[in-house]
Structure 1
Amino acid sequence: MIQFLSIAFRNMKTVGTICPSSPMLARSLAAAAIESTSPKRILEVGPGTGPVTKEILKCLGPDDVLDIVELSSEFCRDLDSKILTPWRTRGKPGQVTLHNAAIQDVQLEMSSYDCVICGLPFNNFEIDLVETIMRRLLDLLRPGGELSFFCYFGAKTMKSTVLDGPGRDNLRAIARLERELHLAHSGSRHVVLANIPPAEVRRLQKP
C-alpha cells in the first residue's frame, strides 16, 4: 500500500486514485476471464500493483495466454517481483508476458483476445487519447470478446464542479463517447460498492 501511494501521488494523472482496487472490484473486472473456458487469450491494461492480475492468474490453464501492459516502470517492477515471479516459481500453468509500454505502442495481435480488462483512469485523459485507447482495445478483441473497464461512481459529476470550461467540455466528450460505445457494443454496467471509492464496472461486447 505504501508503494502504491508513493507511485500514485507522483503520477496521479495516469494512476487516477490513491487506493488500489478492492478484491470485489478486481473480481468483477476479471469476470469474463474467470468464466471463460480454455484455451483463452486475455489482455490486461493498466494493472497497477496487480489486484486484477491476481484474480486472472487464479483461472489460467496450461493453454491460456495473458498479456499485461503497464506504462509505469515502477509498477512493472513491483508486479513482477511480488506477483509474477512467485507465481512462476510455483510452476503454475499459462503463458504470461509483462509489457512495460503504453497500450498504443506495444505490438499485439489484432482481433485475438477473448477478454480485455482495462484499469486506466479515462476521466483523467484528454478525449482524443481516450478515443484512441478505446478503439485500440476493441480492435484487439476477437468477435464476441468482452472489454471491461471502470470509473468511480459519480466521478464525472464531482470532478466537473472543480474544472474550468475546457475541462468540463472534455468530461462531457468522454461521457458521449462512452454512451456511443455502450449502445454500439451491447454495453452493461455493474456498481461495486465494496471499493474506495465505489466504482461502476462497464462491459462492452465486440460484434
Structure 2
Amino acid sequence: MNIHEKLLFLRGFIRDPLRVGSILPSSPLLAEKIIQIIPWHEVQTVAELGAGTGALTRFIELNRAESSKLFLFERDRNMRASLKLQFPACNLHSNASSLLKNLDQEGISQLDCIICGLPFFNFSNEMKERLLRQIVRSLKPGGYFVAYQFSLHMKKKYAAYFNIERIEFVSRSFPPAFVYVCRKQRPYQ
C-alpha cells in the first residue's frame, strides 16, 4: 500500500466519514487473515463490498482461481476510478445496495463468497436490513459471507441472517478488527 492510496482513502473519509468508515485502508495483516479463511478452491464467483483503494482486492486477486469472477463494489468515485485502473478485468459497480440488480445484469444468479468491509455501524437500521437482504439473496446455499468490523455490534444482526461459524479478532491491524466468518445455510425469502 503506497502513500497515494492512504491519502486517497483519507480524503474519502474526510468527504464522507459515514460511508468510508475508517481513516486508513485495510492493513495487510487483516487482508491476510481474511484470505486464509476462504476456501478458494470452492469459489468461482466472489464480490467485495466496500473495496476502497484495493488493499484487500490485491490479496483476492492473488488467491482466486483465474477462471473465477470478481465483482467490486465501491461508492466513492475517486476510489472506484483507482480500482478501475488497478483491476481492469474486474466487474466494478458503485452501490452494494444494488447488488442483486448488478449481478443480474452480469448474468450471475448467485455468488460463492462475499467479502464485506462496509461500515455497518454508520448505517441506519433500514440501510443495514436492505443490504443484508441483498447479500443473503445473492449468496448460494452454503456460500460464505466474511465481514470485518471494528466492534461486535453486528453479531446479533449477522446471526439473524447467517450461521456464524466463528469470529476472529485481528489485534495487530489498525484499527483492530473482528472478522465474522458466516455461511448461508437456509433458503431466504
TM-score for both structures, normalised by structure 2: 0.83
Task: Establish whether residue 103 from structure 1 lines up as the match of residue 96 from structure 2.
Answer: yes
What's the offset of the Cα at 1:180? Answer: 2.7
Gaps of at least 5 residues in structure 2 are 1-5
- Deviation string, structure 1 residues 129-182 (Cα, Å, up to 9, x no partner): 11110111111111111001111146x5xxxxxxxxxxxxxxxxx55423433x
Name the CA distance, whole Å, in 1 between partners of 2:120 and 2:182: 15
Correspondence for 1:180 among 148, 152, 160: 160
Aligned in 2, Cα 1:98/1:151: closer, same or farther, shift over 3 Å?
Answer: same
User: How far apart, in 2, do the equivalents of 1:112 and 1:28 lie?
Assistant: 25
3-state SS of paired residue (1:108): helix
2:107 is the alignment partner of 1:127: no
Please tell me whether residue 76 in structure 1 is matched to residue 97 in structure 2: no
Q: CA RMSD in A?
A: 2.1
Aligned residues: 175
Residue 51 (structure 2) pairs with residue 13 (structure 1): no
Q: Deviations over 1:66-102 (max 9, x none)?
A: 0111111111011222x214xxxxxxxxx52111x21
1:204 Cα deviation from its structure 2 partner:
1.2
1:7-156 paired onto structure 2 within 5 Å: 7-33=12-38, 35-37=39-41, 40-81=44-85, 83-85=86-88, 96-99=90-93, 101-105=94-98, 106-109=101-104, 112-153=110-151
Does the aligned pair in 2 maintain the 1:116–1:146 contact within 8 Å?
A: yes
- Does the 8 Å CA contact 1:32/1:146 hold for their aligned counterparts? no
Q: Point out the more displaced range, 71-80 or 102-111.
A: 102-111
4+ residue stretches of structure 1 with deviation over 3 A?
30-33
Alpha-carbon distance between aligned partners in 1 of 2:30 and 2:102, rounded to the nearest angstrom: 28
Counterpart-to-counterpart distance in 2, 1:39 and 1:153: 27
- Write out per-residue CA displacement over residues 34-61 of structure 1, whole angstroms, 9 at most, x where no aligned residue: x321661111111101111000100233
User: SS where residue 130 of structure 1 aligns?
Assistant: helix
Query: Secondary structure at the residue paired with 1:187?
Result: strand
Contact map agreement 2:43 2:112 (CA 8 A) in 1? no
| Bigger-Rg structure (1/2) | 1
Task: State the AA in 1 paired with 2:36.
Answer: A
| Equivalent residue for 2:7, pick from 2, 7, 26 | 2
Larger deviation, residues 57-66 vs 6-15: 57-66
Greater alpha carbon shift after TM alignment, 24-33 vs 196-205: 24-33
Question: Which of 196, 199, 204 matches 2:174?
Answer: 196
Q: Could you tell me how far 1:6 is from its partner in structure 2? A: 1.2
Identity percentage of aligned residues: 27
Unpaired stretches in structure 1, ≥5 consecutive residues: 86-94, 157-173
- In 2, Cα distance between equivalents of 1:107 and 1:97: 10
Please give the alpha-carbon distance, in whole angstroms, between the structure 1 residues aligned to 2:26 and 2:59: 12
